[in-house]
Each structure stands twice: as C-alpha cells, then as structure tokens.
A = this chain, B = another copy of it.
Amino acid sequence: MPEPACQRLSIRTQGAGFYEITRSIIPMLEGTGVLTLFIRHTSASLLIQENADPDVQTDLMGFLTRLAPHADHPQMNWLTHRIEGPDDMPAHIKAALLPTSLQIPVIDGRMLLGRWQGIYLVEHRDAPHAREVVVMLR
C-alpha cells in the first residue's frame, strides 16, 4: 500500500483556548523531512508554545483578549464585521497574528522539538467547533 501523501487530524473544540495536539501527531510520523501542519480555518490557529506551566497558556489567552476584545467592548466600537457574533472579528484578528501553519524538522519519525515545546491548536471562537488540521511530511 503506498504511503498516503497527507493525513488529517480532527479536533473538537469547546470554546476559546489551547488544545494540545503533540501526542496526536507523534504516531503519524515516519521517516525524515519537514513536517507541515496546516489548519483549514480563519478563526483558529496553530502554535508552538511552552508545555510546562499551564499559566503560560492562560496568560497568552489573556493577552490576546486584551489586544482584541469582543466586538461589544468599547475598545472595538470601530469594527464593521459584526454579523457572525461579537467573538468573530476578534477571532480573525487573532488568526492573522498567530500561525495558520507550522513546520517542524523530523528525523527518523521524531520531531526535533525543544524540551519545552508543545504543539497547540488555539481556538479563538466561543462556541464548540470541529477543526481540521492537514498533516504532511516531505
């Protein structure tokens, strides 16, 4: 059976926040090359960040929320895209600032992540969403 050109990872999110996917990626990897992870959405992101103290994730979410609050916050009264809810346009802003794709070197099926690096899907929307990530090693 030929090796598939790419694989898919599905993640169900339950509100804005960090969802670690490092362990879901590991069994998908064989051989050597550059791993590309690509998220097929414009209101969620992929991010490599510290995996030790969960407070880091809390503070990153706090920073993003202060930088781009919901559309009903006075700081955002200039927003025009409002039809999909007060969390939608800020979600696009955060998705513009954080990565849509990640690239990680892989040797013999092992990602060369640093000791404190974990791979996260960052959900920017409040409601539950089904997110899809394309996984490709070349």
Contact = CB atoms under 8 A, between A and B. Distances in A.
A93 to B, nearest CB: 5
A75 B99 CA distance: 26
A134 B116 contact: no
Contacts of A49: 42, 92, 95-96
B63 A105 contact: no
A112 B81 contact: no
Contacts of A62: 78-80
A39 B101 CA distance: 15
A24 interface: no
Contact of A34 (B36, B47, B48): B36
Interface residues of A, number: 56
Nearest to A79: B59
A98 B49 CA distance: 12
Contact of A100 (B48, B67, B79): B48
Interface of A: 5-6, 32-34, 36, 38-42, 47-50, 53, 55-56, 58-60, 62-63, 66-68, 78-81, 83, 89, 92-93, 95-105, 107, 112-117, 132, 134, 136, 138
